[in-house]
């Protein structure tokens, strides 16, 4: 496969292994541009990118902006504060305005699952989902896969353990679809209240005891406890959560020797992950970040026909 034959990137559920392979290979070549002293190439000169971030973001927003800049595309955008969402504008009206502005590509993060899909259906521009509610975060899934592949060479046959707040995590869903489709065995563990019903239908296995999930894992992906999304109490206390599901050196030692430790950020240090391992030799948490720029460059390039 040498071309991505789709207009939008909305989720990994609907993406084939061949498409993911193409994106990861392209992202790997983009890494070489990022590592150069002069990072800009003229590939997407003249293309317009609009970014609409209706939820807070640090890494994702910055990496899309950098990706556009490194490929010489023009990029403008709004973040939640300062957008008309605060003034009650409907998604439908936002869509109509985007339509008449006519950017080649729109990046959207939104608190409601399905918002980028609605946008994609109604505008000619390509749309990339930068995280929609609890649903998917496909670019994070892809950068997680790229980060692991750089270490292991393949994703096939790896045991990937995803630990933490699966219920509120769009990253978990994209990782489950992505790693699963690439031939990894995905195991999830969380308190029952933080596990969505029927999560097995996405192709993962549930291990109620975190120790069983970690046993012999090649990759340990720790998720943030999304306290801001919890309108009710999903567990008795943060202390108890840490005692039962927090990943520390003792628990990490249950995984394979030298297992890879990941976290999408932002981290709650001392809650879902302890600082000694987050900053330790098995952690690739800071390598995930430039890979995020590389994946977003690859997607801009593949969707906007950079080859022309």
Least distance from ligand NCD to the Cβ atom of residue 162, Å: 12
Q: Note whether 50 binds ligand NCD by CB under 6 A.
A: no
Task: Please report whether residue 265 would count as binding ligand NCD according to CB under 6 A.
Answer: yes
- Measuring CA to CA, how many Å separate 79 from each of 60, 94, 107, 207? 12, 13, 11, 38
Site membership for ligand NCD, residue 135 (CB under 6 A) = no
Measured from the CB atom, the residue of 168 and 251 that comes closer to ligand NCD is 168
Tell me the number of residues near ligand NCD by CB under 6 A. 11
**Is 305 one of the binding residues for ligand NCD (CB under 6 A)?**
no
- Under the binding rule (CB under 6 A), the answer on residue 246 touching ligand NCD is no
Task: Name the residue nearer to ligand NCD (CB basis): 123 or 278.
Answer: 278
Kindly state the DSSP code that residue 85 receives in the 8-state scheme. Answer: G
Between CA 305 and CA 223 the distance in angstroms is: 34
Strands 205-206 and 105-110: unpaired
- Burial string for 200-234 (b: 16+ CB within 10 Å, else e) reads eeeebeebeebeebbeebbbbbbbbbbeeeeeeeb
Residue closer to ligand NCD (CB basis): 60 or 282? 60
The residue nearest ligand NCD at its CB is 224
Q: Which residue has tokens 């948490």?
A: 285
Q: Which of 161/221 has CB closer to ligand NCD?
A: 221
Q: Which is nearer to ligand NCD, 15 or 295 (CB)?
A: 295
* SS3 state at 109: strand
Burial grade of 39 (CB within 10 A; 0-12, 13-18, 19 or more): middle
Directed axis angle between helix 285-303 and helix 138-152, to 10°?
120
Backbone φ, ψ for residue 284 (5° rounding): -115, 25
**Sole binder of ligand NCD in the list 77, 131, 180, 306 (CB under 6 A):** 131
* Closest to ligand NCD by CB, 138 or 264: 264
> According to CB under 6 A, which residues from 268 to 297 bind ligand NCD?
none
Among 31, 39, 59, 80, binds ligand NCD (CB under 6 A): 59
Q: How far is the CB of 37 from ligand NCD (least distance, A)?
A: 27
**Judged by CB under 6 A, which of 26, 51, 60, 189 binds ligand NCD?**
60
Minimum CB separation of residue 45 from ligand NCD in Å reads 28
Residues 155-174 close enough to bind ligand NCD by CB under 6 A = 170-171
Look at residues 44, 46, 20, 47 and name the one whose alpha carbon lies nearest to residue 33.
44
CA-atom Rg of the chain in angstroms:
19
Length of the chain: 308
Binding site for ligand NCD (CB under 6 A): 59-60, 131, 137, 140, 170-171, 224, 226, 264-265
């Amino acid at each position: 496969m040498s071309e991505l034959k789709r207009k939008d990137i909305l989720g990994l559920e609907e993406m084939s292994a061949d498409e993911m392979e193409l994106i990861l290979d392209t992202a790997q070549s983009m890494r070489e541009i990022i590592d150069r002293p002069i990072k800009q190439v003229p590939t997407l000169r003249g293309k317009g990118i609009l970014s609409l971030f209706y939820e807070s973001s640090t890494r994702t927003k910055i990496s899309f902006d950098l990706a556009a800049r490194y490929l010489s595309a023009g990029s403008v955008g709004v973040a939640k504060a300062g957008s008309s969402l605060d003034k009650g504008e409907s998604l439908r009206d936002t869509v109509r305005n985007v339509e008449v502005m006519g950017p080649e590509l729109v990046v959207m993060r939104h608190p409601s699952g399905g918002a980028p899909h609605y946008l994609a259906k109604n505008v000619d521009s390509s749309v990339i989902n930068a995280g929609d509610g609890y649903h998917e975060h496909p670019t994070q899934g892809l950068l997680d896969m790229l980060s692991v592949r750089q270490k292991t060479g393949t994703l096939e046959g790896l045991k990937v353990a995803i630990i933490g707040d699966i219920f509120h995590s769009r990253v978990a869903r994209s990782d489950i679809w992505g790693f699963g489709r690439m031939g990894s065995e995905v195991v999830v563990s969380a308190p029952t209240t933080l596990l969505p019903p029927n999560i097995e239908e996405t192709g993962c296995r549930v291990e109620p005891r975190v120790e069983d999930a970690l046993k012999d894992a090649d990759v340990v992906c720790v998720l943030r406890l999304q306290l801001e999304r919890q309108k009710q109490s999903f567990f008795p206390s943060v202390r108890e959560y840490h005692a039962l599901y927090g990943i520390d050196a003792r628990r990490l030692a249950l995984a394979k020797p030298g297992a890879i430790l990941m976290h999408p950020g932002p981290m709650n240090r001392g809650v879902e992950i302890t600082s000694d391992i987050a900053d330790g030799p098995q952690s690739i948490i800071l390598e995930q970040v430039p890979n995020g720029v590389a994946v977003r460059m690859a997607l801009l390039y593949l969707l906007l026909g950079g080859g022309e």
